A = this chain, B = another copy of it.
Amino acid sequence: MASEVAEHNYQLNVKMTCGGCSGAVTRVLTKAQQEGVVSSFDVNLETQLVNVRGPIEEAALVEKIRKTGKQIISVTSQDKAEAVV
């Protein structure tokens, strides 16, 4: 269960105006999760916030979200080095 891969934590403010918008972002992140680059995420239509956790690099994540055509208002990353031994 121990992992050497750094887990990143990102919070993106993404312009989403309906359940179709947040559903689109959810589908893209679900696919990223299946690919193993995202370990967990949540998409909140009400707050317009998308939290993502996983080994994915910020630029790659931003590119994935950008390809949804949704506007990214801001991205913040709170990196935590995890020491799971």
B-contacting residues of A (Cβ < 8 Å)?
15-21, 23-28, 64, 67-71
For A16, the closest partner residue in chain B by CB is B20
Task: Pick from B18, B27, B28: contact of A20, CB below 8 A.
Answer: B18
Task: Pick from B20, B27, B67: contact of A21, CB below 8 A.
Answer: B20
Chain B hits for A15, CB < 8 A:
20
Residue of A17, A24, A26 most packed against chain B (CB within 10 A): A24
Chain B hits for A70, CB < 8 A:
20, 24
Task: Pick from B16, B17, B24, B26: contact of A68, CB below 8 A.
Answer: B24
Contacts A/B (CB < 8 Å), 18 sampled? A17-B19, A17-B20, A18-B18, A18-B20, A18-B21, A20-B70, A21-B21, A23-B69, A24-B68, A24-B69, A25-B69, A26-B69, A27-B71, A28-B69, A64-B67, A67-B67, A68-B68, A68-B69
